[in-house]
Amino acid sequence: MKSKIYLSIMLTACVLMVTATIKAQPGAHDPSQMWENNGKYFVYCTGQGVYKIQSSSSSFSSYSTASNVIPNYSWIQTYVPGFAGFYWAPELMWMNNKYYLYYSCSLGARPCCIGVASSPSLTSPTWTDLGVVVYSTNSTVYGSIDPDVFWAQDGTLWMAYGSHLNGIVLVRLNPTTSKIYNSTRYVIANNDCEAAHIDYNGGYYYVFFNRGDCCAGTSSTYTIYVGRSTSLTGPYLDKNGNNCASGGGTVFLKSTGRYIGPGHYGYGCGKLTYHFYDGNDNGTPKLAINTVTWTNGWPVAGTLKSTADDYTEIASEESQKIVSQSISIYPTVVNANLTVQGATTNCSYKIYSVSGALVKQGILSAETIDVSGLTSGMYSIFIENNNEAATLKFVKN
């Protein structure tokens, strides 16, 4: 997610450029910024064991995918009991001749934590567990999720993190240990926000963050906002001079046409990455690869064309089957019965909680699935139908 000072010939992390393409990854939530290692490009996403998309081109015209990048480390149970290895919002940093993978552990509220692992390579990774970076108990003011690690202009290392639980905070890191440098925290954005990313351009630090409802398909209201400051620690002001820590923020990306609920801004290798929900594909979450230009000191996202030729489907991480264009579910916000369309009877389905736990599975013997027994929250359903498969999201009231 970061635009940084990069110090190795192994890594090409780039400053802002322009082209506009879009790639689609069903189930792609909270993508990292794009990274390059040995001629390969990587984007890491929320998923079981962290979900990775890899390509030989920054346009991701061809690609491979993998889940379970890292295991479910046993120490996490100390901070988030019941965590099943479904990591949120991963991000990377290069330092000490290694890549550091920061990730979030959460079941949807507090307690939660951020951990880190390191590897000398992304193309041939060997991840070493480095443990917890920061954590939140049930009484902690801030939520420990959505890490964004970056180098400041003076060469110090920082992390922005946080959630709708009292906003986004900034804390300095020790580059030798990859952990917290001191206990001082700066609130840089508030009012129900999360998914922070810090960039630097033209004498200003820019904070990008999300407000609104995520992960609800076409009902998602996620919107990316931005503010800027001449000081790393703020205050960050929007175009109208409102402080982002007091509810301010200028809209950077909002729902437009088929591109619903854009979220989790990241920038690397000259590319803007974020997820959206495809209004032309039943609200399936997908990965956008876009660009940024600057006008009068403010960022402007490239325009994505609204045609089917502008994106490529990537096979589901659970199956090498073709990603179905015909299977759909409704409603996306459900009380009792979830209706499945476009699938034959006797096909299999699996329903996962936001933590990655399998909560229900079976054979589709009718058009509806009874989900009344599920607790309130967001779920994903994986449906296999002959030679096709689909992963879709819904919210249980």
Q: Which amino acid is at 391?
A: T
Query: Would you call 30 a catalytic residue per the annotation?
Result: yes
Tell which residue, 317, 255, 313, has the closest CA to residue 281.
313
Residue from 148, 194, 281, 384 carrying the catalytic annotation: 194
User: 14 and 272 in contact (C-beta within 8 Å)?
Assistant: no
Three-class HEC string of 299-313: EEECCCCCCHHHCCE
Residue 129: count other Cβ atoms within 10 Å of its Cβ.
14
Query: Would you call 148 a catalytic residue per the annotation?
Result: no
Instruction: Assign 338 to helix, strand or coil.
Output: strand
User: 173 and 179 in contact (C-beta within 8 Å)?
Assistant: yes
Write down the residue that tokens 């919002």 correspond to.
89
Return d(Cα 160, Cα 188) in angstroms, integer. Answer: 9
Angle at CA 184, nearest 5°, toward 181 and 188?
A: 115
Task: Indicate the helix (H) or strand (E) that contains 90.
Answer: strand 86-95
Catalytic residue annotation: 30, 194
